[in-house]
Structure 1
Amino acid sequence: MNKKTALITGSSRGIGRAIAILFARNNYNVVINYNKSEKEAQELYDMLSKENLNVKIFKADVSNVQEANALVNYTIGQFENIDVLVNNAGISKPCLFTDISYEQWDEMISTNLSSVFYVTKKALQYMLPNQSGHIINISSMWGLVGSSFEVDYSATKAGIIGMTKALAKELGPSNINVNAIAPGVIQTDMLNDLSQDTMDMLKEETPLMRIGKPEDIAKCALFLAEQGDFITGQVISSNGGFVI
């Protein structure tokens, strides 16, 4: 039986890294994508390669349509198919709405939202003829309820949810599942600038009384890919109860 292939954007660090590790260790071919974090991507590649897992690495800024296309083409060239696409690449730059520059707005839209459109559109050239595939978009709980000081980020993550639901309806007849994961507070580099007091407050506001781990989101992604054949158009918010 041929191994399935997973393409994970922004997979050198944080949630994307955890997803890449879990899929690789569950017998998937995995393409690790990075843009700026070359050192982290290479370290991840080396670690998984030493475990004799089938992983590849490719640099691409998925907010650029030509580079997004190149990433998908590379994946097909290496593994001939894309069974699971995880659109994970994203940035966050908290600030007051009135302090958001036009340049920051454009960067947020292109990195967090347009990238999902670019990579998915190209990947569907190969998924549609096969009449199969799982697309998993990483949104955020702030895409569900909004966050002050992160209006641009919240807007992009809400856009991902709308795209997920609409695309699921369109691709259902082609046996392609489209779902979103909306993580809560997860221990990644995005939290590095928060004080310990803020972290403690976030933990106390979470019914499960802990900050989420990237592995929590990775397990959810693997579940959708492996057990989610009758799940589509849904948003699973793995947030420990922070948003109910």
Structure 2
Amino acid sequence: MKKFALVTGASGAIGKAISIRLASAGYSLYLHYNQNQQGIDELLRKIGSFGGEYIPVKADLASKTGYLDLANQIFSIDAIVHNAGNALYGLLEDLEEEETDALIQIHVTAPLLLTKKLIPKLRQKQNGSIVIVSSIWGQTGASYEVAYSTVKGAQLAFAKALSKELAPSKIRVNAVAPGAIQTPMVEGFTLEELEAMASEIPSGRLGTPEEVANGVDFLLSEQSSYITGQVLAINGGWLT
């Protein structure tokens, strides 16, 4: 019997790596995206040989009704990976209200309401799992990323609280908190800045999207069957 997982933000670097890892583990996938059709087409070519069913689902999770547009395209579901999101750099005093609304919508409101809609389908399986891709800044906070740190911290609180609520239904809820990962989110840094960042990390390098994907796969798998309400830090020992 096919196992279906929803990966939001599947067209991004970490979303692609998660999708490839889950497809290789035997999952069929709902691959959420908003604008990056090219990224989804590329992903579909990479995972086609794994033999599952892979369904692109388009929805704008920054809009008020985006979560409904997505939920209405989901049928059987065993797992959810909340990965969609975007960074926001700048001083808090320069933050625009519209930016704040969009950030909260995509990182907090949409995952919360989408999960609410999909819980009955997860409960039918009696073995569901949810993983939220948060950030090291949700754990420690970051200057110049106050708003981003705030929503990422909210995601961790969401995972911990929901895990307690859903445990009687045999649905586990966990989160991963990646540190500095080699994705387009760090492309704005100079080589010198990246080298300086790597020098602060005990492991001496940035992580890869595949390493984040391995953590997500573990938390979805039966290997973590007695783990819920936890945050798996994937950061090379940085700021721990």
Pairwise TM-score range, normalised by the shorter structure = over 0.9
Q: Deviations over 1:25-66 (max 9, x none)?
A: 111001111011111111111332255442111111123353
SS in 2 for 1:24: helix
In structure 2, the partner of 1:221 is 216
1:154 aligns with 2:149: yes
- TM-score normalized by the length of structure 2: 0.95
Code of the residue aligned with 2:15 in structure 1: it is G
- Quick check: 2:32–2:56 contact (8 Å CA) kept in 1? yes
1:49 aligns with 2:45: no
Q: What CA distance in whole angstroms lies between the structure 1 residues aligned with 2:70 and 2:129?
A: 17
In structure 2, the partner of 1:241 is 237
Structure 1 unmatched ranges of 5 or more: none
In structure 2, the partner of 1:122 is 117
Task: Give the superposition deviation at 1:75.
Answer: 2.6
Counterpart of 2:174 (choices 179, 197, 205) is: 179
Structure 2 unmatched ranges of 5 or more: none
- Pairing of 1:195-206 with structure 2 (within 5 A): 195-206=190-201
Aligned length: 239
- Quick check: 2:78–2:125 contact (8 Å CA) kept in 1? no
In structure 2, the partner of 1:188 is 183
Q: What CA distance in whole angstroms lies between the structure 1 residues aligned with 2:50 and 2:81?
A: 22
SS in 1 for 2:161: helix
Q: What CA distance in whole angstroms lies between the structure 1 residues aligned with 2:64 and 2:98?
A: 18
Q: What CA distance in whole angstroms lies between the structure 1 residues aligned with 2:129 and 2:62?
A: 21
SS in 2 for 1:74: coil
Task: Give the superposition deviation at 1:207.
Answer: 0.7
Q: Over aligned residues, Cα RMSD in angstroms?
A: 1.3
Code of the residue aligned with 1:101 in structure 2: it is E
Task: Give the superposition deviation at 1:107.
Answer: 1.0
SS in 2 for 1:91: coil
Q: Deviations over 1:145-198 (max 9, x none)?
A: 100110110000000011111111111111110001000000111101011111
In structure 2, the partner of 1:39 is 38
In structure 2, the partner of 1:88 is 83
In structure 2, the partner of 1:137 is 132
Task: Give the superposition deviation at 1:84.
Answer: 1.0
1:230 aligns with 2:229: no
Code of the residue aligned with 1:234 in structure 2: it is Q
- TM-score normalized by the length of structure 1: 0.94
- Quick check: 1:18–1:218 contact (8 Å CA) kept in 2? yes
Q: What CA distance in whole angstroms lies between the structure 2 residues aligned with 1:9 and 1:173?
A: 25
SS in 2 for 1:185: coil
In structure 2, the partner of 1:69 is 68
Q: What CA distance in whole angstroms lies between the structure 2 residues aligned with 1:127 and 1:66?
A: 21
